[in-house]
Amino acid sequence: MSQSTSATTVATTGNMVKKSNLGQIIFWVLLGLTLFVWLLRGVGLLTGIRGGVIWILIIATMSAGTVSAIQKTRRW
């Protein structure tokens, strides 16, 4: 019976680690996408994209970073 309990604890702990990494992954993906779009627009390859799209990406990146930082400080 103790083997089953320890397996459940390990599975639960592993799940919590994955949730905290998910926020960081979303942040880094959004940051990379924002920089990529911003650089391509600056070079002139994506001239059809409006500035509002870049602002939305920047705000989404800042929001994801804030949420990720808050989640990182939580104990659960």
Q: Are 9 and 54 in contact (CB under 8 A)?
A: no
Q: Please give the pLDDT value at position 7.
A: 47
Predicted confidence (pLDDT) at residue 2 exceeds the cutoff of 90: no
Domain locations in the chain? Answer: 17-73
Residue 41, C-beta contacts closer than 8 angstroms, at least 6 positions apart: 47, 49, 54
At residue 74 the predicted structure's pLDDT band, cuts being 50, 70 and 90, is confident
DSSP H helices, the chain, are 2-43, 51-73
Q: Please give the pLDDT value at position 33.
A: 95
Percentage of residues in the chain having pLDDT higher than 70: 72
Average pLDDT over residues 36-62: 92
